[in-house]
Structure 1
Amino acid sequence: LVVALEIGTSSSATRIIGGAQFSHSFYCLGRPRLPLIKMQYSSNKRASASISLPSSAEGVERNEPIVKMCGITSARDAEFAAKAGAKLIGMILWPKSKRSVQRSEAKEISRVAKSYGAEAVGVFVDDDEETILRVADSCNLQLIQLHGDSSRALVPALAKNNRIVYVLNADADGKLINSPPSEEYDIDWFLVDSAEGGSGKGFNWDNFRMPSVKSKNGWLLAGGLHADNVCQAASALKPNGVDVSSGICSPDGISKDPKRISSFMRSVQSLSSRR
Protein backbone atom coordinates (compact mmCIF):
# COMPACT_ATOMS: atom_id res chain seq x y z
CA LEU A 1 0.00 0.00 0.00
CA VAL A 2 1.36 3.43 -0.96
CA VAL A 3 -0.03 6.70 0.29
CA ALA A 4 1.18 9.89 -1.41
CA LEU A 5 0.14 13.34 -0.32
CA GLU A 6 1.06 16.68 -1.83
CA ILE A 7 -0.51 19.94 -0.71
CA GLY A 8 -0.01 23.04 -2.85
CA THR A 9 -1.78 25.91 -4.47
CA SER A 10 -3.58 23.50 -6.79
CA SER A 11 -2.22 20.03 -6.13
CA SER A 12 -3.63 16.55 -5.81
CA ALA A 13 -3.31 13.70 -3.37
CA THR A 14 -3.58 10.09 -4.48
CA ARG A 15 -4.36 7.14 -2.24
CA ILE A 16 -4.17 3.52 -3.33
CA ILE A 17 -6.20 1.21 -1.10
CA GLY A 18 -6.71 -2.46 -1.85
CA GLY A 19 -5.94 -1.98 -5.52
CA ALA A 20 -8.36 0.93 -5.93
CA GLN A 21 -7.09 4.47 -6.53
CA PHE A 22 -8.75 7.61 -5.17
CA SER A 23 -7.68 11.16 -5.97
CA HIS A 24 -8.51 14.28 -3.99
CA SER A 25 -7.61 17.92 -4.50
CA PHE A 26 -6.30 20.19 -1.76
CA TYR A 27 -5.76 23.94 -1.76
CA CYS A 28 -3.48 25.94 0.48
CA LEU A 29 -3.28 29.65 -0.25
CA GLY A 30 0.09 31.32 -0.14
CA ARG A 31 2.19 28.13 -0.13
CA PRO A 32 2.85 27.22 -3.78
CA ARG A 33 4.55 23.87 -3.18
CA LEU A 34 4.95 21.92 0.03
CA PRO A 35 6.98 18.69 0.29
CA LEU A 36 5.73 15.48 -1.26
CA ILE A 37 5.39 12.88 1.50
CA LYS A 38 5.30 9.20 0.57
CA MET A 39 4.54 6.44 3.05
CA GLN A 40 4.91 2.74 2.31
CA TYR A 41 3.46 -0.11 4.31
CA SER A 42 4.87 -3.61 3.90
CA SER A 43 2.97 -6.83 4.53
CA ASN A 44 4.41 -7.07 8.06
CA LYS A 45 2.85 -3.65 8.84
CA ARG A 46 6.17 -1.88 9.09
CA ALA A 47 6.02 1.65 7.73
CA SER A 48 8.60 3.83 6.05
CA ALA A 49 8.34 7.41 4.85
CA SER A 50 10.23 9.63 2.44
CA ILE A 51 9.99 13.38 1.89
CA SER A 52 10.77 15.10 -1.39
CA LEU A 53 11.69 18.76 -0.84
CA PRO A 54 11.37 21.41 -3.58
CA SER A 55 14.51 23.11 -4.82
CA SER A 56 15.45 26.47 -3.36
CA ALA A 57 14.03 28.24 -6.41
CA GLU A 58 10.65 26.54 -6.04
CA GLY A 59 7.95 27.19 -3.52
CA VAL A 60 9.14 30.72 -2.77
CA GLU A 61 6.23 32.92 -1.75
CA ARG A 62 6.23 36.05 -3.90
CA ASN A 63 5.08 39.04 -1.97
CA GLU A 64 5.42 41.93 -4.40
CA PRO A 65 2.34 43.56 -5.97
CA ILE A 66 1.23 42.46 -9.41
CA VAL A 67 2.06 44.77 -12.30
CA LYS A 68 -0.21 46.31 -14.91
CA MET A 69 1.56 47.96 -17.83
CA CYS A 70 -0.75 50.33 -19.64
CA GLY A 71 -0.73 52.40 -22.81
CA ILE A 72 0.59 49.43 -24.80
CA THR A 73 0.42 50.31 -28.50
CA SER A 74 1.89 47.28 -30.26
CA ALA A 75 2.14 43.52 -30.03
CA ARG A 76 5.90 43.95 -29.70
CA ASP A 77 5.51 46.07 -26.57
CA ALA A 78 2.91 43.66 -25.21
CA GLU A 79 5.43 40.86 -25.56
CA PHE A 80 8.15 42.88 -23.79
CA ALA A 81 5.77 43.66 -20.92
CA ALA A 82 4.32 40.17 -20.48
CA LYS A 83 7.70 38.48 -20.75
CA ALA A 84 9.04 40.81 -18.07
CA GLY A 85 6.28 39.73 -15.70
CA ALA A 86 3.35 42.13 -16.17
CA LYS A 87 0.11 40.27 -15.46
CA LEU A 88 -2.21 42.94 -16.86
CA ILE A 89 -1.62 44.48 -20.29
CA GLY A 90 -3.59 47.69 -20.82
CA MET A 91 -4.41 49.36 -24.11
CA ILE A 92 -6.26 52.63 -24.63
CA LEU A 93 -9.34 52.55 -26.84
CA TRP A 94 -10.10 56.25 -26.47
CA PRO A 95 -9.32 58.04 -29.76
CA LYS A 96 -8.26 61.29 -28.07
CA SER A 97 -5.27 59.67 -26.35
CA LYS A 98 -1.86 59.81 -28.01
CA ARG A 99 -1.48 56.15 -27.05
CA SER A 100 -4.80 54.98 -28.49
CA VAL A 101 -4.84 51.85 -30.65
CA GLN A 102 -7.01 50.66 -33.50
CA ARG A 103 -9.18 47.62 -32.89
CA SER A 104 -7.10 45.40 -35.16
CA GLU A 105 -3.98 46.20 -33.15
CA ALA A 106 -5.85 45.80 -29.87
CA LYS A 107 -6.93 42.31 -30.90
CA GLU A 108 -3.31 41.36 -31.65
CA ILE A 109 -2.15 42.82 -28.32
CA SER A 110 -4.80 40.73 -26.57
CA ARG A 111 -3.60 37.61 -28.36
CA VAL A 112 0.03 38.20 -27.40
CA ALA A 113 -0.85 39.01 -23.78
CA LYS A 114 -2.83 35.81 -23.44
CA SER A 115 -0.06 33.73 -25.01
CA TYR A 116 2.27 34.82 -22.20
CA GLY A 117 -0.24 34.27 -19.42
CA ALA A 118 -1.23 37.92 -19.01
CA GLU A 119 -4.70 39.46 -19.28
CA ALA A 120 -5.74 42.14 -21.75
CA VAL A 121 -7.37 45.28 -20.35
CA GLY A 122 -9.20 47.77 -22.54
CA VAL A 123 -9.34 51.38 -21.32
CA PHE A 124 -12.55 53.27 -22.09
CA VAL A 125 -13.33 56.92 -21.40
CA ASP A 126 -16.96 58.07 -21.32
CA ASP A 127 -18.10 55.55 -23.93
CA ASP A 128 -21.64 54.21 -24.13
CA GLU A 129 -22.54 50.65 -23.21
CA GLU A 130 -23.03 49.44 -26.79
CA THR A 131 -19.61 50.73 -27.87
CA ILE A 132 -17.83 49.23 -24.88
CA LEU A 133 -19.41 45.80 -25.35
CA ARG A 134 -18.83 45.76 -29.09
CA VAL A 135 -15.17 46.74 -28.81
CA ALA A 136 -14.53 44.41 -25.88
CA ASP A 137 -15.91 41.51 -27.86
CA SER A 138 -14.12 42.28 -31.14
CA CYS A 139 -10.77 42.84 -29.38
CA ASN A 140 -11.03 39.79 -27.09
CA LEU A 141 -10.60 41.88 -23.95
CA GLN A 142 -10.58 40.14 -20.60
CA LEU A 143 -11.13 43.24 -18.46
CA ILE A 144 -12.83 46.58 -19.07
CA GLN A 145 -11.33 49.66 -17.41
CA LEU A 146 -13.78 52.52 -16.92
CA HIS A 147 -12.71 56.17 -16.83
CA GLY A 148 -15.06 59.13 -16.75
CA ASP A 149 -18.44 59.57 -15.10
CA SER A 150 -20.42 58.33 -18.11
CA SER A 151 -18.53 55.05 -18.34
CA ARG A 152 -18.50 54.51 -14.57
CA ALA A 153 -22.26 54.99 -14.48
CA LEU A 154 -22.57 51.84 -16.60
CA VAL A 155 -21.14 49.58 -13.90
CA PRO A 156 -24.56 48.16 -12.86
CA ALA A 157 -25.10 46.88 -16.39
CA LEU A 158 -21.54 46.01 -17.38
CA ALA A 159 -20.54 44.19 -14.19
CA LYS A 160 -23.17 41.51 -14.72
CA ASN A 161 -21.24 39.78 -17.50
CA ASN A 162 -17.88 41.57 -17.68
CA ARG A 163 -14.80 41.92 -15.51
CA ILE A 164 -14.39 45.52 -14.43
CA VAL A 165 -11.53 47.82 -13.41
CA TYR A 166 -13.18 50.82 -11.74
CA VAL A 167 -11.07 53.99 -11.76
CA LEU A 168 -10.90 56.47 -8.89
CA ASN A 169 -8.98 59.72 -9.33
CA ALA A 170 -7.03 61.70 -6.74
CA ASP A 171 -5.99 65.33 -6.97
CA ALA A 172 -2.40 66.46 -6.43
CA ASP A 173 -2.96 66.62 -2.66
CA GLY A 174 -4.11 62.99 -2.55
CA LYS A 175 -7.81 63.70 -2.11
CA LEU A 176 -10.29 61.62 -4.10
CA ILE A 177 -12.28 63.66 -6.60
CA ASN A 178 -14.79 60.92 -7.40
CA SER A 179 -16.29 58.14 -5.32
CA PRO A 180 -16.70 54.36 -5.44
CA PRO A 181 -20.12 53.08 -6.51
CA SER A 182 -22.81 53.70 -3.91
CA GLU A 183 -23.88 50.06 -4.20
CA GLU A 184 -21.76 46.91 -4.17
CA TYR A 185 -21.06 45.40 -7.59
CA ASP A 186 -18.94 42.53 -8.84
CA ILE A 187 -15.72 44.48 -9.55
CA ASP A 188 -12.34 42.86 -10.17
CA TRP A 189 -10.12 45.82 -9.35
CA PHE A 190 -10.30 49.39 -8.16
CA LEU A 191 -7.59 51.57 -9.68
CA VAL A 192 -6.49 54.85 -8.12
CA ASP A 193 -4.89 57.26 -10.59
CA SER A 194 -4.00 60.93 -10.63
CA ALA A 195 -6.50 63.45 -11.93
CA GLU A 196 -4.89 63.25 -15.38
CA GLY A 197 -4.43 59.57 -16.08
CA GLY A 198 -1.55 58.74 -18.42
CA SER A 199 0.07 62.13 -17.89
CA GLY A 200 2.98 60.84 -15.83
CA LYS A 201 1.84 63.01 -12.92
CA GLY A 202 1.38 61.55 -9.46
CA PHE A 203 -0.31 62.67 -6.26
CA ASN A 204 0.57 63.00 -2.59
CA TRP A 205 0.83 59.44 -1.27
CA ASP A 206 1.27 60.57 2.33
CA ASN A 207 -2.12 62.27 2.36
CA PHE A 208 -4.01 59.62 0.43
CA ARG A 209 -6.38 57.27 2.24
CA MET A 210 -7.85 54.37 0.31
CA PRO A 211 -11.60 54.21 0.97
CA SER A 212 -13.21 51.01 2.16
CA VAL A 213 -14.19 49.17 -1.01
CA LYS A 214 -14.88 45.56 -1.92
CA SER A 215 -13.45 43.92 -5.03
CA LYS A 216 -12.26 40.49 -6.09
CA ASN A 217 -8.56 41.32 -6.25
CA GLY A 218 -8.03 44.55 -4.32
CA TRP A 219 -6.73 47.78 -5.79
CA LEU A 220 -4.08 49.08 -8.16
CA LEU A 221 -2.01 52.23 -7.66
CA ALA A 222 -1.24 54.39 -10.70
CA GLY A 223 -0.08 57.93 -11.34
CA GLY A 224 3.48 58.94 -12.15
CA LEU A 225 5.09 55.65 -11.17
CA HIS A 226 8.53 54.67 -12.46
CA ALA A 227 11.45 52.49 -11.41
CA ASP A 228 12.82 55.05 -8.97
CA ASN A 229 9.64 55.73 -6.98
CA VAL A 230 7.48 52.60 -7.19
CA CYS A 231 9.04 51.06 -4.07
CA GLN A 232 8.38 54.19 -2.04
CA ALA A 233 4.79 54.41 -3.29
CA ALA A 234 4.01 50.74 -2.76
CA SER A 235 5.61 50.71 0.68
CA ALA A 236 3.58 53.76 1.73
CA LEU A 237 0.19 52.64 0.44
CA LYS A 238 0.53 48.86 0.15
CA PRO A 239 -1.67 48.38 -2.92
CA ASN A 240 -2.33 44.92 -4.33
CA GLY A 241 -0.85 46.00 -7.63
CA VAL A 242 0.82 48.88 -9.45
CA ASP A 243 0.03 50.38 -12.84
CA VAL A 244 2.69 52.04 -15.00
CA SER A 245 2.54 53.73 -18.40
CA SER A 246 4.59 56.89 -18.89
CA GLY A 247 7.27 55.52 -16.57
CA ILE A 248 8.23 52.80 -19.06
CA CYS A 249 7.92 54.85 -22.25
CA SER A 250 10.61 55.60 -24.80
CA PRO A 251 11.51 59.27 -25.40
CA ASP A 252 8.66 59.51 -27.94
CA GLY A 253 6.20 59.05 -25.08
CA ILE A 254 4.31 56.32 -26.93
CA SER A 255 6.30 53.13 -27.50
CA LYS A 256 7.67 51.24 -24.52
CA ASP A 257 11.36 51.01 -23.66
CA PRO A 258 12.47 47.42 -22.86
CA LYS A 259 15.20 48.69 -20.52
CA ARG A 260 12.73 50.80 -18.55
CA ILE A 261 10.33 47.86 -18.40
CA SER A 262 13.07 45.64 -16.97
CA SER A 263 14.17 48.32 -14.51
CA PHE A 264 10.60 48.82 -13.29
CA MET A 265 10.10 45.09 -12.77
CA ARG A 266 13.34 44.78 -10.82
CA SER A 267 12.18 47.54 -8.50
CA VAL A 268 8.80 45.87 -7.95
CA GLN A 269 10.37 42.48 -7.36
CA SER A 270 12.67 43.96 -4.73
CA LEU A 271 9.58 44.70 -2.65
CA SER A 272 9.23 41.01 -1.77
CA SER A 273 12.15 41.36 0.63
CA ARG A 274 10.74 44.53 2.21
CA ARG A 275 7.19 43.47 3.01
Structure 2
Amino acid sequence: MTQTRIKLCGMTRAEDVRLAVELGVDYIGLIFAAESPRRLLLGQARMLRELVPEQIGVVALLMDNSASDVGKIIEQVQPDLLQFHGQEEDAFCADFARPFLKALPMAGLEGEDIEDRLARYPSAWGFVLDGHAAGQAGGSGQRFDWRRWPQQLGRPALLAGGLNADNVAVAVQTARPWGVDVSSGLESARGVKDAERVRSFVAAVRSVDR
Protein backbone atom coordinates (compact mmCIF):
# COMPACT_ATOMS: atom_id res chain seq x y z
CA MET A 1 0.00 0.00 0.00
CA THR A 2 1.32 3.43 -0.94
CA GLN A 3 0.65 5.76 1.96
CA THR A 4 -0.31 9.34 1.22
CA ARG A 5 0.94 11.47 4.09
CA ILE A 6 -1.66 13.60 5.83
CA LYS A 7 -0.94 16.99 7.35
CA LEU A 8 -3.63 18.77 9.34
CA CYS A 9 -2.73 22.43 9.58
CA GLY A 10 -3.99 25.46 11.46
CA MET A 11 -4.50 23.56 14.70
CA THR A 12 -5.51 25.80 17.61
CA ARG A 13 -7.30 23.50 20.08
CA ALA A 14 -6.13 20.61 22.24
CA GLU A 15 -9.14 18.47 21.33
CA ASP A 16 -8.36 18.80 17.63
CA VAL A 17 -4.74 17.77 18.16
CA ARG A 18 -5.84 14.78 20.26
CA LEU A 19 -8.20 13.65 17.50
CA ALA A 20 -5.46 13.99 14.88
CA VAL A 21 -3.16 11.88 17.05
CA GLU A 22 -5.89 9.28 17.55
CA LEU A 23 -6.41 9.03 13.78
CA GLY A 24 -2.68 8.62 13.15
CA VAL A 25 -2.08 11.57 10.84
CA ASP A 26 1.51 12.16 9.80
CA TYR A 27 1.97 15.88 10.48
CA ILE A 28 0.33 18.59 12.57
CA GLY A 29 0.76 22.20 11.47
CA LEU A 30 1.00 25.13 13.88
CA ILE A 31 0.78 28.60 12.34
CA PHE A 32 2.95 31.58 13.30
CA ALA A 33 2.26 33.79 10.27
CA ALA A 34 1.33 37.28 11.50
CA GLU A 35 -1.65 37.74 9.18
CA SER A 36 -3.24 34.34 9.77
CA PRO A 37 -6.44 34.12 11.86
CA ARG A 38 -5.06 30.79 13.11
CA ARG A 39 -1.83 32.30 14.41
CA LEU A 40 -0.66 30.91 17.75
CA LEU A 41 1.17 32.56 20.60
CA LEU A 42 4.23 30.68 21.79
CA GLY A 43 2.53 29.54 24.98
CA GLN A 44 -0.41 28.10 23.05
CA ALA A 45 1.91 26.37 20.63
CA ARG A 46 3.98 24.80 23.40
CA MET A 47 0.85 23.38 24.99
CA LEU A 48 -0.30 21.84 21.70
CA ARG A 49 3.16 20.55 20.89
CA GLU A 50 3.28 18.60 24.16
CA LEU A 51 0.25 16.60 23.01
CA VAL A 52 2.00 15.25 19.92
CA PRO A 53 3.89 11.94 20.19
CA GLU A 54 7.26 11.41 18.54
CA GLN A 55 5.92 9.45 15.58
CA ILE A 56 3.91 12.47 14.34
CA GLY A 57 5.79 15.45 12.93
CA VAL A 58 5.11 19.00 14.06
CA VAL A 59 5.39 21.69 11.38
CA ALA A 60 5.78 25.41 12.16
CA LEU A 61 4.23 27.52 9.40
CA LEU A 62 5.92 30.89 8.88
CA MET A 63 5.46 33.79 6.49
CA ASP A 64 8.18 36.43 6.32
CA ASN A 65 8.86 36.10 10.05
CA SER A 66 12.12 37.62 11.21
CA ALA A 67 15.10 35.39 11.94
CA SER A 68 14.67 36.26 15.61
CA ASP A 69 11.05 35.10 15.54
CA VAL A 70 11.97 31.84 13.86
CA GLY A 71 14.71 31.24 16.41
CA LYS A 72 12.32 31.72 19.32
CA ILE A 73 9.76 29.38 17.76
CA ILE A 74 12.40 26.69 17.28
CA GLU A 75 13.70 27.11 20.82
CA GLN A 76 10.33 27.03 22.54
CA VAL A 77 8.21 24.77 20.29
CA GLN A 78 10.86 22.42 18.83
CA PRO A 79 9.12 21.78 15.50
CA ASP A 80 10.34 18.90 13.37
CA LEU A 81 9.88 20.89 10.16
CA LEU A 82 9.65 24.55 9.21
CA GLN A 83 7.26 25.63 6.44
CA PHE A 84 7.90 28.97 4.74
CA HIS A 85 5.01 30.69 2.92
CA GLY A 86 6.47 34.11 2.17
CA GLN A 87 9.24 35.66 0.10
CA GLU A 88 12.01 33.89 2.01
CA GLU A 89 15.08 32.97 -0.02
CA ASP A 90 16.66 29.52 0.09
CA ALA A 91 19.63 30.67 2.19
CA PHE A 92 17.34 32.19 4.84
CA CYS A 93 15.22 29.05 5.07
CA ALA A 94 18.28 26.81 5.34
CA ASP A 95 19.91 28.89 8.08
CA PHE A 96 18.01 27.34 10.99
CA ALA A 97 19.43 23.80 10.95
CA ARG A 98 15.93 22.34 10.52
CA PRO A 99 14.53 20.60 7.45
CA PHE A 100 12.08 22.89 5.72
CA LEU A 101 9.17 22.92 3.32
CA LYS A 102 8.74 25.80 0.90
CA ALA A 103 5.20 26.67 -0.12
CA LEU A 104 4.66 27.43 -3.79
CA PRO A 105 1.54 29.45 -4.74
CA MET A 106 0.18 27.73 -7.83
CA ALA A 107 -2.30 30.39 -8.97
CA GLY A 108 -1.20 31.59 -12.39
CA LEU A 109 1.77 29.22 -12.71
CA GLU A 110 2.28 26.70 -15.50
CA GLY A 111 4.83 23.99 -16.27
CA GLU A 112 8.16 25.77 -16.73
CA ASP A 113 7.28 28.47 -14.20
CA ILE A 114 6.62 25.80 -11.59
CA GLU A 115 9.93 24.07 -12.29
CA ASP A 116 11.76 27.39 -12.12
CA ARG A 117 10.25 28.24 -8.73
CA LEU A 118 11.11 24.82 -7.31
CA ALA A 119 14.69 25.12 -8.56
CA ARG A 120 15.17 28.28 -6.49
CA TYR A 121 15.09 26.17 -3.31
CA PRO A 122 17.78 23.50 -3.63
CA SER A 123 18.03 23.22 0.16
CA ALA A 124 14.32 22.48 0.68
CA TRP A 125 13.47 19.10 2.16
CA GLY A 126 10.17 19.33 0.33
CA PHE A 127 7.39 21.57 -0.95
CA VAL A 128 3.76 22.51 -0.40
CA LEU A 129 1.98 23.28 -3.67
CA ASP A 130 -0.95 25.47 -2.65
CA GLY A 131 -3.85 26.96 -4.61
CA HIS A 132 -3.45 30.51 -3.35
CA ALA A 133 -1.82 33.40 -5.19
CA ALA A 134 1.63 34.82 -4.47
CA GLY A 135 1.67 36.99 -1.34
CA GLN A 136 -1.20 35.16 0.35
CA ALA A 137 -0.72 32.99 3.44
CA GLY A 138 -2.74 29.97 2.35
CA GLY A 139 -5.60 28.52 4.34
CA SER A 140 -8.12 30.30 2.09
CA GLY A 141 -9.47 27.16 0.46
CA GLN A 142 -8.46 28.07 -3.10
CA ARG A 143 -7.97 25.15 -5.45
CA PHE A 144 -5.76 24.75 -8.50
CA ASP A 145 -6.04 22.28 -11.37
CA TRP A 146 -4.66 19.05 -9.91
CA ARG A 147 -3.76 17.86 -13.42
CA ARG A 148 -0.95 20.44 -13.33
CA TRP A 149 0.82 18.55 -10.56
CA PRO A 150 4.51 18.13 -11.55
CA GLN A 151 5.44 14.46 -11.71
CA GLN A 152 9.24 14.66 -11.48
CA LEU A 153 9.74 16.54 -8.23
CA GLY A 154 12.38 14.31 -6.70
CA ARG A 155 11.45 15.53 -3.22
CA PRO A 156 8.40 15.19 -0.96
CA ALA A 157 5.55 17.53 -1.91
CA LEU A 158 2.17 18.08 -0.34
CA LEU A 159 -0.92 19.13 -2.25
CA ALA A 160 -2.85 21.94 -0.55
CA GLY A 161 -5.67 24.35 -1.30
CA GLY A 162 -9.39 23.72 -1.33
CA LEU A 163 -9.22 20.15 -0.04
CA ASN A 164 -12.02 18.66 2.02
CA ALA A 165 -13.45 15.24 2.86
CA ASP A 166 -15.57 15.21 -0.32
CA ASN A 167 -12.84 15.92 -2.86
CA VAL A 168 -9.58 14.64 -1.38
CA ALA A 169 -9.98 11.17 -2.89
CA VAL A 170 -10.24 12.64 -6.39
CA ALA A 171 -7.30 14.95 -5.67
CA VAL A 172 -5.09 12.03 -4.62
CA GLN A 173 -6.18 9.89 -7.58
CA THR A 174 -5.49 12.77 -10.00
CA ALA A 175 -2.19 14.15 -8.74
CA ARG A 176 -0.73 11.20 -6.78
CA PRO A 177 1.05 13.57 -4.39
CA TRP A 178 3.44 12.47 -1.66
CA GLY A 179 1.03 14.04 0.83
CA VAL A 180 -2.00 16.25 1.33
CA ASP A 181 -2.28 19.35 3.51
CA VAL A 182 -5.62 20.65 4.77
CA SER A 183 -6.79 23.42 7.10
CA SER A 184 -9.93 25.44 6.36
CA GLY A 185 -11.65 22.57 4.54
CA LEU A 186 -12.16 20.73 7.82
CA GLU A 187 -13.30 23.68 9.94
CA SER A 188 -16.66 24.57 11.44
CA ALA A 189 -15.20 28.01 12.30
CA ARG A 190 -11.77 29.56 11.83
CA GLY A 191 -9.28 27.49 13.78
CA VAL A 192 -11.95 25.03 14.93
CA LYS A 193 -11.83 21.61 13.30
CA ASP A 194 -15.05 19.65 12.81
CA ALA A 195 -14.43 16.16 14.19
CA GLU A 196 -16.66 14.38 11.68
CA ARG A 197 -15.03 16.16 8.73
CA VAL A 198 -11.59 15.27 10.06
CA ARG A 199 -12.51 11.60 10.43
CA SER A 200 -14.07 11.51 6.96
CA PHE A 201 -11.03 13.21 5.40
CA VAL A 202 -8.56 10.73 6.88
CA ALA A 203 -10.79 7.80 5.94
CA ALA A 204 -11.06 9.05 2.35
CA VAL A 205 -7.28 9.31 1.94
CA ARG A 206 -6.68 5.87 3.45
CA SER A 207 -9.36 4.38 1.21
CA VAL A 208 -7.61 5.64 -1.92
CA ASP A 209 -4.27 4.35 -0.64
CA ARG A 210 -5.72 0.85 -0.30
Number of residue pairs matched by the alignment: 204
Unaligned runs of 5+ in 2: none
**What residue is the counterpart of 1:24 in the other structure?**
none
CA contact (8 A) 2:90 2:120 kept: no
Cα separation, 2, equivalents of 1:122 and 1:228: 27
CA 156–101 in structure 1, closer or farther in 2 if over 3 Å, else same:
closer
Q: How far has the Cα of 1:272 moved from its partner?
A: 2.0
Q: How far has the Cα of 1:173 moved from its partner?
A: 7.1
Residue 199 (structure 2) aligned to one of 262, 266, 270: 262
Q: TM-score normalised to the size of structure 2?
A: 0.88
- Backbone CA RMSD of aligned residues: 2.1
Residue 53 (structure 2) aligned to one of 109, 114, 128: 114
Query: Does 2:67 align with 1:125?
Result: no
CA 93–143 in structure 1, closer or farther in 2 if over 3 Å, else same:
same
Deviation readout 1:216-271 (Å, 9 max, x if unpaired): xx111100101111111111111011001111111x23211111110001100111
CA 183–244 in structure 1, closer or farther in 2 if over 3 Å, else same:
closer
Secondary structure at the residue paired with 1:71?
coil
Unaligned runs of 5+ in 1: 1-61
Q: TM-score normalised to the size of structure 1?
A: 0.68
Q: How far has the Cα of 1:155 moved from its partner?
A: 2.5
Q: Which amino acid aligns with 2:59?
A: V
CA 263–209 in structure 1, closer or farther in 2 if over 3 Å, else same:
closer
CA contact (8 A) 2:163 2:182 kept: yes
Q: Which structure 2 residues correspond to residues 235-254 of structure 1 after superposition, within 5 A? A: 235-250=173-188, 252-254=189-191
Cα separation, 1, equivalents of 2:146 and 2:39: 28
Cα separation, 2, equivalents of 1:72 and 1:255: 8
Cα separation, 2, equivalents of 1:230 and 1:243: 10
CA 202–88 in structure 1, closer or farther in 2 if over 3 Å, else same:
same
Q: How far has the Cα of 1:64 moved from its partner?
A: 3.2
Q: Does 1 or 2 have the higher relative contact order (CA < 8 Å, sep 6+)?
A: 2
Q: Which structure 2 residues correspond to residues 17-96 of structure 1 after superposition, within 5 A? A: 62-96=1-35
Deviation readout 1:149-179 (Å, 9 max, x if unpaired): 1365512423xx1111111110067666781
Residue 127 (structure 2) aligned to one of 190, 195, 201: 190
CA 152–123 in structure 1, closer or farther in 2 if over 3 Å, else same:
farther
* Structure with greater helix share of residues: 2
**What residue is the counterpart of 1:171 in the other structure?**
107
Q: How far has the Cα of 1:134 moved from its partner?
A: 1.7
Cα separation, 1, equivalents of 2:88 and 2:209: 38
Secondary structure at the residue paired with 2:161?
coil
Of structures 1 and 2, the larger Rg is shown by: 1
Percent identity, aligned pairs only, is 28
CA contact (8 A) 2:30 2:60 kept: yes
* Structure with greater strand share of residues: 1
CA contact (8 A) 2:4 2:177 kept: yes
